[in-house]
Amino acid sequence: MTPTTPVSFAEIFDGATGIKKIEIPPIQRDYAQGRRSAETNRVRERFLDALYKAVTEKAVTLDFIYGDIKDGVLIPLDGQQRLTTLFLLYWYAAKKENAPQREQDFLAGFSYDTRYSARNFCAELVKFSPQFQKNLKKEITNEAWFPAAWQKDPTVNAMLVMICAIDEKFKDVKNLWGKLKNGAITFYFQPVKDMGLTDDLYIKMNSRGKPLTAFEHFKAELERKIRAFDEKLAETMGSKIDREWTNLLWSYCNENHIVDEAFLRYFRFVCDVICYEKGESPQEGQDEFDLIEECFNHANLGSNGKTKARQNAQTVTEYFDCWLRVNSPAEFAAEFMCSEHETGKIMVDGRYDVDIFKDCLNNYSDKSGRLRQFPLNRMVLLYAVTCYLQNQNTAAKADFGRRLRIVNNLIQNSADEISDRADRNRMPAILAQTKNIILTGKIDKNVKNSFNAHQLREEEEKTEFLAKNPAAYDILTKLEDSPILHGQISILGLKNLHLTDKFIALFGIDWDKVDCALMTVGDYGQKEGKGTLYQYGSKNNISAWDALFHKSSNRGFEATGRILAELLELPRITDQALTQKIENFLAECENKKSFSWRYYYVKYAAFRPGKYGKYSDYYAHGDGRLLCVLQTLQRISSSTYDPYIAAADKAHVSREHYGQRLIYPNCNVYITSKSDAFEVRNMDTDKLMETLPIKKTAEGEDGENRVEKLKKYITDNKMS
C-alpha cells in the first residue's frame, strides 16, 4: 500500500499495513467531535453530512491520517477525531445490521489509552449489541458494565453524544454495513517514518492538549478542499494564512492579537465578490464552511470545476496579497480618502472609518449575514480600491484618485441602484462597471443596469470637461464635496462652477432664511412624479435639500437650478444679504398690494413645511393655491394642515379634520379656505353662515393679505 492509496477504516487492519491495533495515546486530547457546544455541533453535523452523502450518493476519500507504527500498533499523530468517528460509525452499522462476527472483529482493535475509562468503554462497546428500541445513550448507560463514573470522562461522554447523532443521521440508510465494507468512506494513511519526521514533531503537535479552535477547523477544511485540485496552491495558501496574511492583520486586532475574526470577515468579502462576479447573489446565513463548499469544492462547480475552484483560490490569494504591496493599509487609505474636503481625495461618510480595510475587518459580516455597519455601497468602494491594488502595473497611481472619485460619486448617488434583492440584483453589473472605471478611467456603456443612469451621464460630462479644462479640477471637486451635493452637481452644472464658493457659503447660513431667500426669486419647489406631493427645503433636515438638488423623476428640477443660480449671483452671500433680500421682497409685495402664494410662504413660518419639506395638493381640487403642509414624508396625517388658516390661528386647527378646519366650539362654527374666500359654517349642520371674500388683482393674486384679514375676523368676533 502506498501513501496515495485510499483505505477504509476496516482495511487499515488488514495484513497489508501491518497494523493490528489503533491506540489513541495518553498525550492526545480527548475526543472532541461529540462535545456539546454551538461550534462543535456545527463541526459534527458537517462531518456527518459528508459521511452520509458518501453512503447515499457518492463515495468520499477523507484527508491524510498520519501516525507512528510500533509493533503493529498505530499511534495516530493526526486524525484521531476522524478515526474515532469512523470507529463509532462502523460499530453502529455492524450492530444495527447484525454483521457476521468475523467481519466486525477488527473493531476490538481500536482503543483509547488516555484513561482507563475510555479504554474499557471501547472494549465493552464492541462486545455490546443494543436493541435499537430507545435512545442509544440510555440503552448503553443502563447496562451493568457501564459505571456511572464513566460519564465524567469527556471522551466517553463525547462518544455517547456521537453515537446518538449517528443514529439520528443514519437510521434509515439501507445496507450501511455493506456500503462501508465496499469502500464508501476511505482516507489516505501515511506512517510518520515515510515522511522523514521525528517524534519531536509528534510532541510539538500534541503538547498543548487543547481542542482545535473554529478557525483552525476552517483552515484545515480550506486547505483540504484546495489540496483536492492543487497541492502546491494549498501549501502556499496555508503558509500565507499562518505568516504573511496574519502579519498583515495583526495590527488591526484586539489586545489579545486574535486575527481569526478579522480574517474571516475579509474572506467573506472576497467570497461575496466571487459570487457577484459569477452573476449570482451570496446566500444569507452562510458560515465560513458553507463558503468553502460553495467556492472551493470543485465537485460542486460543474464542468471545469477544478479550474473554477483554482481561479477562486487564486482570487482569494490576490485579494490578500494586494495589501502586502503597500506600506500600510491605513496610510494608503489616508492618501486617497478623508472625512472633510481635501484636494485629490474623496470624502468618506462620517459614519465610517477612513481606513476602509480596517472597517471591513471589523464590520463586514458575521455568520448571520451582512452587517449594517458595512453595507453594499462600502463593499463597492472597497472593491474599487482592491481593483487598483491588484492592477498597479496597468492603473497608474496618478490616475487612481480621479477614478476613485468617479466611482465614489456613482456610489453616493445610486442608493436605489446598489441593491441585491430577490427581484433585482444589480451588484454584478455594478462591480463590472467599477472595475472598468478603475482600470480605464472610462464608463463602459455596454454594462447595463449598473449605477444611476443620470449620474453615469454626469460623470462622462465631467470627464470630457476636465480633459479640456484640467485647471477646473480643484473647484469641481470642491463643489462635489458639498455635504448637500455629495458628488452630483447637476443642480448648478458645469457652467456655474464659478458659484461654488457662494453655494457653500449659502448653506452655512440659517436654512430657514435660505428657504425664504430662494422663494423671493421664484417658486423653486418640485412636483413629485405623478403623485400629489411637492418638495421644498427644510430649516433643519438635509434630506429635503438632498431630494431637491439631486435629479430624479420630480418635475421642476431645472427651474430649481435656475432659481438657485440667480440667488447665488448676489454680490455677496451673507446672512445680512439674505435678510435684506427677504425684507425687500415683502415690502415690494405690500406696497403693490399684490400678495402671491410666495409672499405668504416667506412671510409666515406656518407656510414653510416642516421636517421633510413636503406639500400636498390632495385637497386642492385643481386649485394650485390650496396646498397643504405635511409633517410626514409621504402621507396625509392628523398633523397635516392648511397653511392659510394655520397662519391665522394655529391653536384652533383641527387635527381630526387633517388640519383643514379652524374649530370654535364656543361659537359653534368652523372656518375653511377657498381659493377666493374663507367660509364660516355651523358645526352641527355644515350650513354656510358667512363668507369672507378676498380681493383680487388683475393678475389673479390676492389684493389684500388674507391671513391678516382672517386674524382680524377671529379677533373681532372674539372667537379664540
Pairing relation of β-strands 21-24 and 614-616?
unpaired
Residue 300 pLDDT class (50, 70, 90 cuts):
confident
Instruction: Return d(Cα 53, Cα 181) in angstroms, integer.
Output: 16
**Can you give the pLDDT at residue 257?**
45
pLDDT digits (tens, 9 = 90+) for 520-543: 999 999 999 877 899 999 999 999
The cell for 568 is 447665488
The residue-averaged pLDDT of 649-670 equals 94
pLDDT beyond 60 at 359: yes
The cell for 366 is 458575521
Residue 188 pLDDT class (50, 70, 90 cuts):
confident
The residue-averaged pLDDT of 682-688 equals 95
- Would you say 570 and 581 are in contact if contact means Cβ atoms under 8 Å apart? yes
Instruction: Return d(Cα 618, Cα 573) in angstroms, integer.
Output: 36
**Can you give the pLDDT at residue 625?**
67
- Please enumerate in sequence order all residues whose Cβ is within 8 A of that of 595, keeping only pairs 6 or more positions apart, or say none: 589, 701, 702, 703, 704, 705, 706
Helices (H), 395-528: 397-412, 427-440, 453-468, 473-480, 500-506, 511-521
The residue-averaged pLDDT of 194-223 equals 58
Instruction: Return d(Cα 373, Cα 364) in angstroms, integer.
Output: 7
- Rg for the chain (alpha carbons), in Å? 38
The residue-averaged pLDDT of 242-250 equals 89
- Please enumerate in sequence order all residues whose Cβ is within 8 A of that of 350, keeping only pairs 6 or more positions apart, or say none: 339
Q: What is the DSSP string of 668-720?
A: TEEEEE-SSEEEEEETTT--EEEEEE--B-TTSSBSS-HHHHHHHHHHHTT--
Nearest by Cα to 431 from 379, 360, 369: 379
Say what percent of the chain tops pLDDT 90.
Answer: 65
pLDDT beyond 80 at 600: yes
Helix (H, G, I), strand (E, B) or coil at 334: helix
Torsion of CA 166, 168, 174, 180, to 10 degrees: -10
What are the strands of the beta sheet with 185-191, ordered from one edge? Answer: 110-112, 21-24, 73-78, 60-70, 185-191
Say what percent of the chain tops pLDDT 70.
Answer: 93
pLDDT beyond 60 at 208: no
- Specify the pTM: 0.75
Which range in 257-271, 459-473, 610-624 is most confidently predicted, on average pLDDT? 459-473
Nearest by Cα to 448 from 462, 460, 432: 432
**Can you give the pLDDT at residue 694?**
95
pLDDT beyond 90 at 562: yes
Instruction: Return d(Cα 168, Cα 674) in angstroms, integer.
Output: 77
Nearest by Cα to 34 from 107, 139, 118, 105: 118
Residue 4 pLDDT class (50, 70, 90 cuts):
low
The residue-averaged pLDDT of 193-219 equals 53
Residue located via cell numbers 495589501 = 323
Instruction: Return d(Cα 135, Cα 68) in angstroms, integer.
Output: 37
**Can you give the pLDDT at residue 283?**
83
- Would you say 541 and 547 are in contact if contact means Cβ atoms under 8 Å apart? no
Instruction: Return d(Cα 280, Cα 295) in angstroms, integer.
Output: 12
Instruction: Return d(Cα 356, Cα 362) in angstroms, integer.
Output: 10
pLDDT digits (tens, 9 = 90+) for 98-138: 999 999 999 999 999 877 888 999 999 999 999 998 899 99
Instruction: Return d(Cα 252, Cα 241) in angstroms, integer.
Output: 15
Asked which of 246-260, 378-392, 544-558 is least confident by mean pLDDT, the reply is 246-260
The amino acid occupying position 58 is: K
Instruction: Return d(Cα 386, Cα 321) in angstroms, integer.
Output: 10
- H or E stretch covering 245: helix 244-250
The amino acid occupying position 126 is: V
